[in-house]
Structure 1
Amino acid sequence: MWKYIVFGVVTLLVDNSDQNLKETDKLFVNTLYDNRTLEQTACNTIVGVTEGCAECYLCDHYTIQYHISKNHDIQHLTFYNDDCSSTKLCCVNQLDLNSYRTNEKCGVDNPEGKPRRVRPSVHSVLPGQYPWRAWVYFYSENIILCAATYVSESSRALVTLASCVSGYPVSELVVTFDKTADTPPNVQQVVIHPEYKELNPLNDIAILFLHSSDSLPRVAMEACLPQWPPKFSKSCISVSEDDLEVNSIIPLQSRCNSTLLHPSLMCTVSYKHAYTPELGGGLFCMEEEEQYFRFILYGILIEKIDNLHMYSNVTNHVDWLRNNIDCN
C-alpha cells in the first residue's frame, strides 16, 4: 500500500566501472557549461568582498530575508556569467548562521546511547542515541504503522507521514519512544496537511500532538526543524527498522526524476545495497554550530527504490509545521 508508481528512476550501480561512475557523477555535476571556450570564460568572475561569507543565495531567497529580519549583516557580491551578464548574490556570516536556534537543546544526540552501552556493530544505532525517534502504533491490533520524529517539547508534537495515520481513529493511536513499551493510547490530535490526497505522495506529512508531558520519557529530546534547504551533496543519515544507520547523499534534485521533482518531495541516493530506512522515519543532516553538532530533520521517508530514497520535504512544509505547532 506504500508503493507509489510515480518516479522515473534510473538505478545507479555503485561500483568501479567507468560507465557507472559517470552515471553517478551526473547526479552531482551540472554539465551545462562543459564545452566553454576560453573567450566565453573571460567574464566569469565575482566582484565583492568574499571574506566572512559562509553561505550565499540570490538576494530574494527566504534565507536572506530571514537574516535581514534579524538585522544580521549581509554581504553583497556580483557574479558575472560567461556572457558577461551579472547576478546579484547575498551572503551570510558564519556567526549569524549559528544564532537562529530557538531551542538550544534540539538536535543533540547521545553517541553512546542513553543509558550508555556497547555498540554491537559499526552500523548499529543504540537506544536513546537519537532521542527524537518514536513509533506510531495502532492500539487495537498492536501493530507499528510507521516511525515518527519528535520536534516540539512545548506542544508535545511529532511529525510523520499523513499516509501512515490517515483513516485511523485518533483514540486508537499510540506514540512510543521505545518499541518494547506497553503504552496506552496517548495521541490527542492528528493534523494532516490540507493538500494531502490518499495514494499520492505529494504533501504526505502530518503532525501528532500527545495528551500530556506524561507521554514523554525523560530521554526524549527534539530534533531541529530546518530554516532552509540542505546543501547540495550533503551527507545525511536515517535509520532502518532493525536499528541500523543508513548513510545517503543529497544530489541535484533535478536528477532524481524524469520530470521536475515536486517541491513537497526530495530525494537522496545511497549505496545500492544499503539498509532500507524505516517508513515515516526522518532524514537527518548534521550541522556544525558554535558548541554542538546538531541534527536537522530534512525529510520523512516515503519509499526506497533501489539506491534512491524519496522523502517528504520538511523544508517545504516548515512554515505549515511551525504555524500548527505554535498554535497548539
Structure 2
Amino acid sequence: MIGYKSIMTALLAILAVAPSAPAPQQNLNAQKNIEEIFNTKTNSLASQISGIGLVVTPEPLDDVSTQKVFNSISGKSTSCNCVPYYMCDPSTNSVTEDGSFDGFGVIDIRFNADDPVCPASVDVCCADNKTRNVTLNPTPLNQRPNQPRGCGVRNTGGLDFALSGVTQNEAGFGEFPWTVALLHFGNLSYFCAGSLIHQRVVLTAVHCVEAHGPGTFIVRAGEWDTQTTKERLPYQERTVQTVIKHPQYKSRNIANDFALIVLSERVVLDDHINVICLPQQEAIPEPSTTCFSTGWGKDVFGSFGKYSVIMKRVPLPIVAFNTCQSRLKSTRLGPKFTLDRSFICAGGQRGIDTCQGDGGAPLACPIGITSENRYQQSGIVAWGIGCNDEVPAAYANTALARDWIDQQMIANGFGTDAYTA
C-alpha cells in the first residue's frame, strides 16, 4: 500500500454533468463510468475479512514468553531471546539504570532482513544479559524538557524506536497520535479512519458513517500494527454514543463531507494518543505545502488490493483548487465536471497517493515553528480517481467547517480548546 482513499457510492450522481444524450443511454453510460471509476460494485465479504479485522486477542504481558534459540525465517539458528523490544535493555550495561532513557534504538520491520529476525514487528533478538521480565518504560513525553504540549504534536519518527526497512511509507509507532480506526462492532473489521479532536469526539467523513448506526461500530485509538497487540502502549477502544452529520452534506457529490462521532467514554490521552489541531475558518494551506494523510487503506484500488498491516503516512502536496479541477476534467469525469467548493485537493504524484479503504482519514499540514512538529487537519479523505495516478485526490476542506464544528462542540458541552493551537 502506498496510500488509501475511500471511493464511495455517494459519488454516483457526480457524472450528471455529462453531455446530453437520450436519457436511457445516458443513464447506462453514466452507470458504467461510475462502476469503473469509483468501483461501486464492491465485494462486501472481502471488506469484512481484510486488514485490521485480523488483529489477535490482546496478550497479558505476564504471558509474553521468550523464545530461546529461535529459528529465523531464513532457517538459521541464533542464540538469543525473541522478546518485545521493551523487555530488552537498551543500555550499554547489562543492568538497566533508572529508566530515564528515551528509546530503544532501531527496529527493522523487513521480515526478510539479515539474521537474526524475530516473527513480530515489535520483537527483537535480545541477549541473555539484556533480557528483562518487566517492561522498560522510556521517560514519558510530558516529563521531558522542551517537549511541545497541546494538540497536533507529531512524534516525528515514532515513539520508542526508529524504523529501518521502511519501503512503503510506514509510519512510526505513535507518530501521528490523532489517527483512529473505525471498526465494525461484530468482527472488528476495518472500514474507515478518523481523527481525535477531543477526548470524546472524532472527526471523520459522512460517507463513512451514514450507513452505520452508533451501535454498529467502535473507534480504536492508539493502533499501529494491526497484526500484533505487543506494542508497549496499548490501543483503546470506545463505543459510539451518537453521530452528528453536517446538515449540508449532499450524497450525490459528497459535498460538505463532515461528521463528528461522539464517544460513550473519554479516550485517555497518552504518548501515542492525542488530539489534532483544527484550522481557523477559511484558513487553507498554501499550494505545494507538504501534508500527511495516515491510515490503513489498500495498496491497490479495487477488490485485489490488500489493506495495510502497519499504519502508513503518505506525504502529499496541496494542489490549488483550479489546478485540481482542471486535472479532474481531463479524466473520465469529462470537461463539464465541476468540483464542489467544499473540497481541497492534494497529491497528483504517480505512486504516492491515498487509496480505497481510508475514507475519513485526516490530511494533516504543518503549522507554527518547525521545532514543535505541530500539525492541523486541513482535510478529510473523501474521493479520487483510482489510486496512485497523476491526478489529485479530493479531501473535505476542514477549514470550511470549523465554525460548524465549534457550534456542535459547544452545543454538546465539550468546548473548543482541545483542538485550538
What are the ranges of 5 or more consecutive residues in structure 2 without an aligned counterpart? Answer: 1-6, 18-147, 230-234, 297-307, 330-336, 413-421
Residue in structure 2 matched with residue 132 of structure 1 by the alignment: 178
Per-residue deviation, 1:173 = 1.9
- For 2:287 and 2:374, how far apart are their aligned partners in 1? 18
| TM-superposition CA deviations, 1:164-222 (whole Å, max 9, x none) | 11121202220002246787651111101111133531111100111122x44523111
Which one of 356, 362, 368 corresponds to residue 282 of structure 1? 362
Residue in structure 2 matched with residue 157 of structure 1 by the alignment: 201
Whether the 8 Å CA contact 1:137–1:143 is kept in 2: the answer is yes
Per-residue deviation, 1:275 = 4.2
Change in 2 beyond 3 A, CA 1:136/1:265: same
Whether the 8 Å CA contact 1:171–1:185 is kept in 2: the answer is no
Residue in structure 2 matched with residue 206 of structure 1 by the alignment: 259
Q: Would you say 1:323 and 2:403 are equivalent positions?
A: no
- For 1:240 and 1:168, how far apart are their aligned partners in 2? 20
- For 2:400 and 2:165, how far apart are their aligned partners in 1? 37
Indicate the structure with greater strand content: 1
Q: Which has the larger radius of gyration?
A: 2
Q: Would you say 1:304 and 2:381 are equivalent positions?
A: no
- For 1:266 and 1:326, how far apart are their aligned partners in 2? 26
- For 1:104 and 1:263, how far apart are their aligned partners in 2? 34
Whether the 8 Å CA contact 1:240–1:276 is kept in 2: the answer is no
- For 2:175 and 2:237, how far apart are their aligned partners in 1? 24
Per-residue deviation, 1:245 = 2.4
* Superposition TM-score, scaled by structure 2 size: 0.50
Which one of 293, 298, 309 corresponds to residue 238 of structure 1? 293
Per-residue deviation, 1:136 = 0.8
Tell me the SS of whatever aligns to 2:381.
strand
Per-residue deviation, 1:260 = 5.0
- For 2:162 and 2:150, how far apart are their aligned partners in 1? 22
- For 2:238 and 2:372, how far apart are their aligned partners in 1? 35
Tell me the SS of whatever aligns to 1:171.
helix
Whether the 8 Å CA contact 2:347–2:353 is kept in 1: the answer is no
Per-residue deviation, 1:110 = 0.9
Which one of 322, 344, 349 corresponds to residue 266 of structure 1? 344
Aligned sequence identity (%): 24
State how many pairs are aligned: 231
> Whose relative contact order is higher, 1 or 2, with alpha carbons under 8 Å and at least 6 apart?
2
- The residue type equivalent to 1:233 in the other structure is S
Q: Would you say 1:174 and 2:218 are equivalent positions?
A: yes
Whether the 8 Å CA contact 1:151–1:157 is kept in 2: the answer is yes
Per-residue deviation, 1:256 = 1.6
- For 1:249 and 1:183, how far apart are their aligned partners in 2? 31
- The residue type equivalent to 1:244 in the other structure is K
What are the ranges of 5 or more consecutive residues in structure 1 without an aligned counterpart? Answer: 9-102
Where do 1:10-25 residues align within 5 Å? Answer: none
Change in 2 beyond 3 A, CA 1:125/1:119: farther
Indicate the structure with greater helix content: 2
Residue in structure 2 matched with residue 110 of structure 1 by the alignment: 155
Where do 1:46-57 residues align within 5 Å? Answer: none
* Superposition TM-score, scaled by structure 1 size: 0.63
Whether the 8 Å CA contact 2:238–2:265 is kept in 1: the answer is no
Change in 2 beyond 3 A, CA 1:104/1:217: closer
Per-residue deviation, 1:246 = 1.6
Residue in structure 2 matched with residue 255 of structure 1 by the alignment: 323
